[in-house]
Chain A
Amino acid sequence: MANRVPIPTSNSSLIAMIADEDTIVGFLLAGVGNVDIRRKTNYLIVDSKTTVKQIEDAFKEFTTREDIAIVLISQFVANMIRFLVDSYNKPVPAILEIPSKDHPYDPAHDSVLSRVKYLFSAESVASDRR
């Protein structure tokens, strides 16, 4: 099992976010936000002026940072960089697609959930047949 990624057991990791402003504000209020010495944030506010390149860079940065355990990403943002999200397959950090206020949640787009649903229905069909 040489390709298995070792799971770091650090004491405390951060939750990163790529979402619209309202969602970010809410989570910041809850105390998720972090700004380090170099004024680097662990979140990216996506508005109408944000380019796809910026989102891609942020996604790549968050998924490679050591101290991040979970990346929350709004679904409409995830749809913009769908190819990156779909090709990401490491267990840590975990990518979570969350619904945002202006964009209703569509389970069909979620890369993990679609796999789950697929397996789930396949397995339930298989268990019915037995």
Chain B
Amino acid sequence: MSGQSQRLNVVPTVTMLGVVKARLVGATRGHALLKKKSDALTVQFRQILKKIVSTKESMGDIMKTSSFALTEAKYVAGDNIKHVVLENVKEASLRVRSRTENVAGVKLPKFDYTNDGEAAKNDLTGLARGGQQVQQCRGAYIKAIEVLVELASLQTSFLTLDDAIKTTNRRVNALENVVKPRLENTISYIKGELDELEREDFFRLKKIQGYKRREIERKMILAREQQLVEKLQLQKGVSFDASHNLLSGTGDKDEDIIF
């Protein structure tokens, strides 16, 4: 694997070892936390999935009911009711309020519908005939909106959560497979280098020690030999120096002696 051989480009010192170790601790903690977050998000995600499927299926029924209510209203109040409705559009009374919900640090949008305008403007629609059916139809469509708004908030949560889970998992995997091995490799590298330095030092010290000892021994031997020679010459009655002088003095010209 490419992540195995990688390590950070650092100077192998004890300080750096401490820094990298601290980073490894941080990475481990972050990994554990992110894993928890991912689990929490996944739980929420599955709940939303189940809800979406059931709501989508119920939406079909509700839309069918409301379409049927509209057909009833059209049948009773005449087909031209749609022109009345289309002409009377002014300001939306049914609006959507959005707020955010926080799940493990991920902001999920939630929609609530509000009906503020109170069915005032279409009140007279179908006054001549079919007013009740029109009101029923309105009720059916408001109910449909209720379901659709819920579905919309589920769906946006689904998309947002999907995205969040993907990024979280990517981070978890990155920490686990890239950052942590790299830090571990760095730590083992620094430790190896430090060990090697120590060994080198030790070896050098040993070597110097050995060298010094050998030097001393050599001097000792020399000194002993010299002592031996001197002792020999003393026994013969001639000092080493004297004999030397004697020998070296032979080359000089003797002073003339005048009787």
Q: Which residues of A contact B (CB under 8 A)?
A: 1, 4, 7-15, 21-35, 41-42, 69-70, 72, 89-92, 94-96, 98-101, 105, 107, 110, 112-113, 116-117, 119-120, 123
Q: Are A94 and B153 in contact (CB under 8 A)?
A: yes
Complex alpha-carbon distance, A29 and B86, angstroms: 9
Partner among B89, B111, B114, B153 whose Cβ is within 8 Å of the Cβ of A28: B89
Q: Are B89 and A34 in contact (CB under 8 A)?
A: yes
Complex alpha-carbon distance, A105 and B67, angstroms: 13
Q: Kindly list 14 other residue pairs between chains A and B, CB separation below 8 angstroms, not including A31-B119, A89-B159, A123-B49.
A: A7-B107, A7-B109, A9-B100, A15-B148, A22-B82, A23-B67, A24-B86, A25-B86, A26-B70, A26-B140, A28-B85, A35-B91, A98-B59, A107-B56
Complex alpha-carbon distance, A65 and B70, angstroms: 29
Chain B residue nearest to A3 (CB atoms) is B163
Is B167 interfacial (CB 8 A cutoff)? yes
Chain B residue nearest to A22 (CB atoms) is B70
Q: Are A91 and B97 in contact (CB under 8 A)?
A: no
Q: Are B109 and A25 in contact (CB under 8 A)?
A: no
Is B185 interfacial (CB 8 A cutoff)? no
21 sample A-B contacts, Cβ–Cβ < 8 Å, listed by A number: A1-B167, A12-B116, A21-B82, A25-B70, A25-B86, A29-B134, A30-B145, A31-B119, A31-B138, A34-B89, A42-B92, A69-B98, A70-B148, A89-B159, A91-B159, A92-B109, A94-B152, A98-B148, A99-B60, A99-B63, A100-B67
Complex alpha-carbon distance, A12 and B163, angstroms: 26
Partner among A42, A96, A101, A112 whose Cβ is within 8 Å of the Cβ of B148: A96
Interface size on B, residues (CB 8 A): 61
A-facing mask of B114-155, CB < 8 A → 1, else 0? Answer: 111101001001000000001001101110110011011101
Complex alpha-carbon distance, A45 and B136, angstroms: 23
Q: Give, as a whole number of angstroms, the nearest-CB distance from A94 to chain B.
A: 4
Is B156 interfacial (CB 8 A cutoff)? yes
By a CB distance below 8 angstroms, the chain A residues around B66 are 26
By a CB distance below 8 angstroms, the chain B residues around A13 are 95-98
Given contacts A27-B145, A29-B122, A35-B89, A12 and B95 within 8 Å (CB-CB): yes
Q: Are B117 and A98 in contact (CB under 8 A)?
A: no
By a CB distance below 8 angstroms, the chain B residues around A33 are 89, 92
By a CB distance below 8 angstroms, the chain A residues around B163 are 4
Chain A residue nearest to B118 (CB atoms) is A31
